[in-house]
């Protein structure tokens, strides 16, 4: 039985906000584990940026000051999305992987008497290879292995007991496995890591489109995400606890201040896509207010949006479609499916017909 939140999800109105769905005709975008489509307001924000202020930030003229202001607003928006303590804890860049690399390189220079990095074997390669590269800097990798049960492969935080010690510098793990979809109790990971003085690095890329993120409640130290999974164009962002990132020797040019967020933003990045990220958060906020009118704060509206999406994805989004829809969908879906990937795409843009495509294509994959 779908819960009340799931029943309130306005799927038809939501689909109308995505011009790509209209333009695609019968084609089903089923590869959304690899990236989402964008709502109309994101497209408008990117276009407006490129037409009105496609210039470098930091200049003493109007258009450049507008870029600075837009980036400031985008930081505020993403800070609300992850419930950060402040907008200065949010940095923008290319993608999650490049942020993992930048932060891991800095962590590698601060191992000291804590040479051990705990990694899970259920993580995406981006959150494994980057840390494995630190072995050259003297790091020792300690593996947190998934257990395979009736419900598939899962990471059990109790298994961290003997792995996390006073020799641990950091535990890096995902919030949700991109291979199996299983969730990780990352608040418990943080509790265990902090109990021995270690830090926690979270990969939110797979989880972010499917539920609320609250870095304060999770009590993590670093979190990376790719905006294009959450309705923005191709770009990434990192949230870092202010005190943690300010202690790290990140790579930066001499003229860049040694404080967050500047110290994590090497060179120029795609400002138009940051404008898109800002609009994507606006879209989610609007969805939250639509689902539960009268909610006061932005962070609360975003939490409602993501909680409602999660409920919808657990319920009606994955409900069985009528057989006629299955037949049509099987013809439409094949071109959208990458046979090489086994991960399942689930997203709250689905109606009954496209869900049937999901069922059929998952069997093929």
Ligand X SMILES: Cc1ncc(COP(=O)(O)O)c(C=O)c1O
Q: What pairs with residue 223 in β-bridges? A: 202, 239
* Sign of the CA dihedral with 178 first, then 151, 305, and 202 last: negative
Supply φ then ψ for residue 99, to 5 degrees: -70, -40
Task: Give the separation between CA 33 and CA 124, rounded to whole angstroms.
Answer: 12
Considering the complex, what minimum distance in angstroms separates the CB of residue 293 from ligand X?
34
Residues that bind ligand X (CB under 6 A): 34, 95-97, 124, 126-127, 174, 178, 203, 205-206, 226, 236
CB 29 within 8 A of CB 351: no
Measured from the CB atom, is 199 or 203 closer to ligand X? 203
By beta-carbon proximity to ligand X, the closer residue of 228 and 283 is: 228
Question: Which CB sits closer to ligand X, 130 or 356?
Answer: 130
Looking at beta carbons only, is 208 or 284 nearer to ligand X? Answer: 208
Q: Give the Cα separation of 193 and 214 in Å (integer).
A: 18
Asked if 360 contacts 336 with a C-beta cutoff of 8 angstroms, the reply is no
State in angstroms the smallest separation of the CB of 356 from ligand X: 25
Among the listed residues 145, 189, 187, 146, the one whose alpha carbon sits nearest the alpha carbon of residue 168 = 189
List, in sequence order, the alpha helices (H) in the chain: 4-7, 11-16, 19-23, 40-52, 62-82, 96-108, 126-132, 186-195, 215-218, 242-247, 271-291, 298-314, 323-333, 352-364
- Residue 54 is given by DSSP the state -
Nearer to ligand X, 126 or 291 (CB): 126
The minimum distance between CB 97 and ligand X, in angstroms, equals 3
Nearer to ligand X (CB atom), residue 5 or residue 176:
176
Half-sphere exposure of 123 (CA within 13 A, CB side): 27
> Which residue, 10 or 181, is less far from ligand X as judged by CB?
181
What is the nearest approach in angstroms of ligand X to the Cβ of residue 123? 7
What gap in Å lies between CA 252 and CA 7, rounded to an integer?
48
Nearest approach, Cβ of 125 to ligand X (angstroms)? 8
CB of 333 to ligand X, least distance (A): 20
Least distance from C-beta 205 to ligand X, angstroms?
4
What's the rounded Cα separation, in Å, for the pair 92 and 238? 7
Q: Which residues pair with 119 in a beta bridge?
A: 143, 172
What gap in Å lies between CA 21 and CA 27, rounded to an integer?
Answer: 8
Distance of closest approach, residue 322 Cβ to ligand X, in angstroms: 32
Q: 200 vs 325, which CB is nearer to ligand X? A: 200
DSSP-assigned states of every residue in 86-131? -GGGEEEES-HHHHHHHHHHHHHTT-TT--EEEEETTS-THHHHHH
Closer CB to ligand X, residue 205 or residue 275?
205
Query: Could you tell me the smallest distance in angstroms from the CB atom of residue 33 to ligand X?
Result: 7
Of the pair 77, 180, the CB lying nearest ligand X is at: 180
Rounded to a whole number of angstroms, the minimum distance from the CB of residue 80 to ligand X is: 22
């Amino acid at each position: 039985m779908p819960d009340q939140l799931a029943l309130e999800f306005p799927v038809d109105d939501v689909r109308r906000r995505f011009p790509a769905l209209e333009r695609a005709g019968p084609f089903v975008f089923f590869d959304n584990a690899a990236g989402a489509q964008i709502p109309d307001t994101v497209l408008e924000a990117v276009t407006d940026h490129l037409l009105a202020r496609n210039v470098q930030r930091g200049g003493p003229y109007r258009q450049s000051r507008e870029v600075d202001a837009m980036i400031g607003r985008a930081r505020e928006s993403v800070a609300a999305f992850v419930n950060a303590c402040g907008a200065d804890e949010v940095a923008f860049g290319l993608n999650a992987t490049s942020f993992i690399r930048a932060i891991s390189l800095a962590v590698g220079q601060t191992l000291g008497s804590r040479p051990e990095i705990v990694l899970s074997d259920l993580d995406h390669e981006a959150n494994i290879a980057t840390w494995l590269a630190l072995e050259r800097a003297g790091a020792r990798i300690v593996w947190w292995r998934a257990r395979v049960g009736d419900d598939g492969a899962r990471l059990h935080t109790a298994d961290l007991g003997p792995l996390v010690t006073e020799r641990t510098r950091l535990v890096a793990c995902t919030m949700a496995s991109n291979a199996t979809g299983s969730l990780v109790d990352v608040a418990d990971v943080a509790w265990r890591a902090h109990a021995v003085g270690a830090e926690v690095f979270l990969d939110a890329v797979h989880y972010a489109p499917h539920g609320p993120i609250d870095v304060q409640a999770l009590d993590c130290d670093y979190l990376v995400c790719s905006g294009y999974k959450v309705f923005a164009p191709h770009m990434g962002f990192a949230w870092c606890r202010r005190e943690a990132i300010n202690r790290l020797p990140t790579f930066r040019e001499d003229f860049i201040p040694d404080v967050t967020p500047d110290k994590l933003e090497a060179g120029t990045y795609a400002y138009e896509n940051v404008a898109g990220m800002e609009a994507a958060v606006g879209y989610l906020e609007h969805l939250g207010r639509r689902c539960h009118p009268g909610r006061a704060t932005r962070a609360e509206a975003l939490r409602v949006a993501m909680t409602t999406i999660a409920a919808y994805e657990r319920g009606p989004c994955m409900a069985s479609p009528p057989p006629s829809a299955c037949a049509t969908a099987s013809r439409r879906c094949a071109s959208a499916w990458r046979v090489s990937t086994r991960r399942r795409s689930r997203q709250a843009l689905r109606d009954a017909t496209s869900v049937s495509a999901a069922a059929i294509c998952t069997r093929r994959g």
